[in-house]
Each structure stands twice: as C-alpha cells, then as structure tokens.
Amino acid sequence: MTERAKMVTAATVLRTERPTPHLIRLVLGGEELAGLPVGEHTDHYVKLIFAPEGVTYPHPTDLATIKREFPAEQWPRLRAYTVRAFDPLAGELTIDVVHHGDEGLAGPWAARLHPGDEVRFVGPGGAYAPDPTADWHLLVGDESALPAIGAALERLPVGAPAAVLVEVHGPADEQPLPSPGAVALTWLHRGDRPVGEALVAAVRALEFPTGRVHAFVHGEATFVKELRRLLRVERGVPREALSISGYWRRGMDDEGWRSTKPDWNRQVEAEEAAVVVG
C-alpha cells in the first residue's frame, strides 16, 4: 500500500442509489479524492472507518497515528469494500454496500446516509486485474464479489471469452454487467440454500475451454475453500493464474474473520499442498 493510501481520506456523499433490493450504491466526492491511486486493479478496495460513538479523530491523519495516540477502546472499526468505479475527471468514487436490514455494521450505516454526509476511509489496496494475454477468464462470486466482478468485466479486452457465475438471493438482485468481452453470464439464485452451494455445483459442472485461464473467485470463505480445491487440485489451475480469497465467513463478524483468516489460509494451503504432493 502506498503512503498516500495509508492516509485517511475524507469524502462527501454526493448521492446514494439502490440498484437492487439488497445493494446500496454510495457515490462519493470531495477534494481529497484527487490523486487517489485507483485504476491499476479491478479489485481495488478501501477500508471504511467507523469511530466509536463520541470519538473524533484529527484530520489529516493515518491509522498508525490513531492507534498510537488513542487508547485501544477508541480505535476505529474497519470494513473493506471494493471500489466499483472511480472517475478522476468527475471526482467520483463509487462503492457498493450489501444491505440486509439491520444486520451488520456498514449496511445499516449506508442506509442512513444522505448527500453531504462525510465518509472516511483508508486505501486503496488491490491486487487483481484480468490478464489480457489469458485465453479465457473465469469470474465467480457472491454479492460481496459483485463490484470487483463488474469492474473486471469492464476491463476485459474486446472479444475476450469469459465465464461468469454470480450467486445472489433472487432474480431481483441481478444487475447489468456490461463488458467488451464475450461474456457467458450465469446468475444463480440462492433462495434459502446455504451461500455458495449453487456456485460450487455450477463451477463443477462447467465445461472448461481449452487454453490458459485467469480466474477470480471471491466471496464467503467456505465455498471459496471448496472452489480453491476444485480449481487447483482437480482442474490444475496454476496458483499464479488464480485470484481467490474469502471476503467473509458465515457466522463471524468482520473482526472475528480477520483475526482467524491467516490461520484459515495456512490450513487451506497445507491441505492443498498435501493433496498435490500426494
């Protein structure tokens, strides 16, 4: 992460939109967005800052300074969200937040925002963009991965083949995903089934084209683990051709998942290595 990305950015809500029943789109603006290093990756993310009630941080600042100058009980809670779009000329940063009523921290907060409200964040980070030299692309995810999938599809080379599988609650949660690529898009409706169950079955049944794939698989950690094994072990997709991560884990809040994610990842990698070596 660059020094610029480590600094806290203060932005202003320009407008909010509701593309689907469970999605709130935040369009942010403000002078501090100038020079924001967004554009290299299609999975750029920022970490929204939620200060405890009654706590105000100086500005400008960074997280290291906050943690050095404030007691631990006054440190902010952070929530990572993918940048759906950034228009440097218009000075607009777009972030999509999944909303399930009163569940969670960011969803209810986003539902209360109005034009003129301030939003603070650090970032961006990011690591993935579609490889223009790949023979075909595979993009798989749930609602949490939709912003990155949408941004990636817009970046595909003209005519680039892509198989895209997205799981959402139901038909009303589908949204337009324009792309210059040759995209085969499949929407999977979860309904009352466990998150990712339909995705795993769909990827397993997918007929893989010949040639070199570049894959992006993100979402709930349990199904991501299953798909990682399927792609790496059963399909032989090289590690360097696969961007894969659990954005969240069912039954855990964000702090709980982030605290256990390193151990989870090590366990998954060890299990995978044992199968590959064996």
pLDDT single digits (tens) 142-188: 999 999 999 999 999 999 999 999 999 999 999 999 999 999 999 99
* Better pLDDT: 271 or 188: 188
> In Å, how far from its chain's centre is CA 218?
7
Mean pLDDT of the chain: 94
Nearest CA among 203, 212, 196 for reference residue 247 = 196
218-236: pLDDT as tens digits: 999 999 999 999 999 999 9
**How many other β-carbons are positioned within 10 Å of the β-carbon of residue 248?**
22
Q: What's the rounded Cα separation, in Å, for the pair 31 and 36? A: 10
* 189-215 pLDDT tens trace: 999 999 999 999 999 999 999 999 999
Higher pLDDT: 152 or 272? It is: 152
Domain chopping of the chain, boundaries = 3-125, 136-277
104 pLDDT band, cuts 50/70/90, is confident
Instruction: Report d(CA 250, CA 257) in Å as an integer.
Output: 9
Full-model pTM: 0.94
> What's residue 91's pLDDT?
96
Of 12, 89, 108, 1, the residue nearest 44 (C-alpha)? 1
Percent of the chain scored above 90 by pLDDT? 84
Across 3-7, 11-15, 63-67, the highest mean pLDDT is recorded for 11-15
User: Is the pLDDT assigned to residue 4 strictly greater than 80?
Assistant: no
pLDDT of residue 1: 60
For domain 3-125, the CATH class is mainly beta
The yes/no answer on whether domain 136-277 falls in CATH 3.30.200.20 is no
Q: How many CB atoms lie within 10 A of CB 160?
A: 22
| Average confidence (pLDDT) over 41-69 | 95
Residue 278 has a pLDDT of: 45
Q: What is the pLDDT of residue 100?
A: 83
Q: What is the mean pLDDT of residues 122-149?
A: 97
**CA 180/CA 156 separation, integer angstroms:** 6
* pLDDT exceeds cutoff 70 at 276: no
